[in-house]
């Protein structure tokens, strides 16, 4: 039995809010994932975080990365399949 709630976590980071919002829109349309949060990281960096099953999160992050790069600057993307409890504890501050 799993002791934490996230099957996978996905992240897309952009420069600026406009490409981040477009990425988030495309991420949520591309696969059955939940929006966990967005963060203004600083220095105009914005990160979008989603959760769901591994395949859905991978598809979502790819769609978001493509979308962000189309209209702005993609700085990073990542998928963490089956994150460890300590990572889930960090994410749990978003109350999803």
> pLDDT tens, 23-42?
999 999 999 999 999 999 88
pTM over 0.85: yes
> pLDDT tens, 8-22?
999 999 999 999 999
Strand order in the sheet with 73-81: 34-42, 45-52, 8-15, 73-81
Q: 49 has which bridge partners?
A: 11, 37
Residue 1 lies in a domain: no
44: domain CATH number is 3.30.70.1710
Residue 21 lies in a domain: yes
Residue 41 lies in a domain: yes
Residue 34 lies in a domain: yes
Give me the domain span that covers residue 72: 8-94
Residue 3 lies in a domain: no
The residue behind tokens 């990073």 is 76
Strands in the chain per DSSP E: 8-15, 34-42, 45-52, 73-81
* CA separation for the pair 52, 20 (Å, rounded): 19
Asked whether the predicted pLDDT for residue 53 surpasses 70, the reply is yes
Looking at the 3D structure of the chain, how many domains does it have?
1
């Amino acid at each position: 039995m799993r002791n934490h709630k996230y099957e996978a976590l996905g992240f897309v980071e952009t420069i600026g809010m406009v490409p981040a919002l477009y990425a988030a829109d495309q991420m949520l349309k591309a696969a059955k994932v939940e929006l966990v949060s967005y963060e203004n990281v600083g220095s105009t960096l914005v990160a979008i975080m989603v959760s769901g099953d591994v395949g859905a999160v991978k598809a979502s992050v790819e769609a978001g990365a493509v979308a962000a790069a189309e209209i702005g600057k993609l700085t990073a993307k990542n998928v963490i399949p089956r994150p460890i409890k300590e990572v889930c504890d960090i994410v749990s501050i978003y109350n999803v």
